[in-house]
Every structure is written in structure tokens, then in C-alpha cells.
Amino acid sequence: MNDPIFAVRRRSATRSAALVGAGTWRWKNVPEDLAQFEHYWPSIFSNTVQWLTAREDDRPVRVVPVRDLFDGGEPVQLTGQVYDESLVPVSDASMEVEIHAPDGTVTPYTMNPIGNGRYTLDAGTFPEGTYRYEATARREDVELGSDEGVFAVGALTLEFKETSANAPLMRQIASRSGGRFLDDLSMGDFERDLTAAAGAFAPVVVEQEREIELRRRYIFLAIIIALLGAEWFVRKRSGMV
């Protein structure tokens, strides 16, 4: 048989992969008419390495927030997965979630099944802070497993939610502050208005007079005394009267 064989195996926490074939290095050097298949060999190699080195997650219950940090006013959403002892998805489990607020308040929720062992929860909005959640899965009063984690809610930032210009608000601010609102169609008037307004400005000269009595400044008094003492010392050393 001239076809290559690619086999993978996962047993317990061990993963292995084997590629049986000759001349695999040639798979990257394909002729021009097969250029569309050129990426196959790098993809096989990188995906195999990623699969072999990925951490095995054999938890029966896995619940995570869609993001670690939610914006203020944004609904908090959680997604979950449930498996049995053989890691077969369980779609008829009861998923109960308790969210613990920073002030100690505990709010219970029930996740909704969406098929193939997957569950989702829209818990609504929360005030700013760091929250902790605990999830437990049961089927016929038998606990299948549990999971826990944390998520955070940031401050409400409306200016980042709506980044487009608010023309009516800008006109109102300009009118109340004595300015003028210019959009992209009236920017040609900016230079003319600036030139016209420049004539209304005149240079302003401010003069201030301040007198300082040196005798009231201890640093100057010390300098004067030091100079007089130096003069006296020089005159005495030179024999001058």
C-alpha cells in the first residue's frame, strides 16, 4: 500500500500520534498546479503538536464566563458543559449556579440546556465588582460534578460604548460656551473665522514691581558678614591697617 497512515491514540492522560510514510518533506514542495494543497503539511504538523501538548481536561462539569471582565451594564453570560464517567455529553442534567457578590449576597440561577451536553446562562447585569460563582450538575438527584470560578464587572463607560460624534450635543455645548460647532462640511470656514477673530485679540502686558529688603534675608546677611570677615582677614594678614 502506497498511501501514508496517520494514527492518533488517547489512553488515560497519555496522547500519542504516528505518521507512517516516506518522503513527507516533499509534501511542502508541491507543483504549481497543486498550490492549493501546499498548506496541508504545515497544518497537520502544527495541529498535531498542539493536540499532543494540550492540557487534558477530564472534569465532568465545566462552567466558564464568556469573558473574564464585563463592562458595566453588560449582561453576564456563562457557558457550561456536562459529561458522564465516560466523558459522554449529558444533555438532561440540572445545572444550578450560585453567584456570590462582593457584599456576600448569593443569587441562585439555573442554566438552560442547548443540546449536546452544553448549557448557557444569561444572569443579567451586575454592579461593579469581582464575583465568584459555583456550579453543580445533577441528574435524577445524583450529583455529576461541580465547578467554580470568578469574573469581574467594570465601571459603566458610556463614552466607550458610543464612539460616534453626537452632533446635537456638541452644538448645544458650543452654543452655551460661546463657541461654534463645525462639521466636516463646514471646516472650510474654520480658517476664515480664526483670522477674523484674531483681530479682536491684542497683546496684554502685565508689569509687577516687588521690593525685597536684603537685610531681612538671612542668606544675604550671612554672605555680607562672610565677605567682611574675609576682607578683615586679608588686610590683617597683609599688614594693612
How do residues 1-55 score in pLDDT, each as one tens digit?
577 888 888 776 678 888 887 777 777 777 777 777 777 777 888 878 877 776 6
Confidence of residue 199 (pLDDT cuts 50, 70, 90): low
- The residue range of the domain holding 25 is 5-53
Final residue of a structural domain among 118, 153, 188? 153
Q: Is 182 among the domain residues?
A: no
The answer on 83 and 149 residing in a single domain is yes
Q: CA 228, 234, 237, 241 torsion: positive or negative? A: negative
Residues contacting residue 156 through CB under 8 Å, at least 6 positions apart: 71, 72, 73, 128
Grid cell of 112 as nine digits: 438552560
What confidence tens digit (pLDDT) does each residue in 102-152 have? 999 999 999 999 988 999 999 999 999 999 999 999 998 889 999 999 999
- Evaluate whether residue 116 is within a structural domain: yes
CA–CA dist 201, 197 (Å, integer): 7
Statement to judge: residues 30 and 67 lie in one domain:
no
Q: Tell me what percent of the residues of the chain surpass a pLDDT of 70.
A: 90
Residues 65 and 149 occupy one common structural domain: yes
* Highest mean pLDDT of the ranges 131-145, 201-215, 216-230: 131-145
CATH number at residue 115: 2.60.40.1930
Amino acid identity of 52? L
Q: Which of 28-32, 161-165, 227-231, 234-238 has the lowest mean pLDDT?
A: 161-165
Residues 20 and 97 in one domain: no
Tell me how many domains the chain contains.
2
Residue pair 133/100 in contact by the 8 Å Cβ criterion: yes
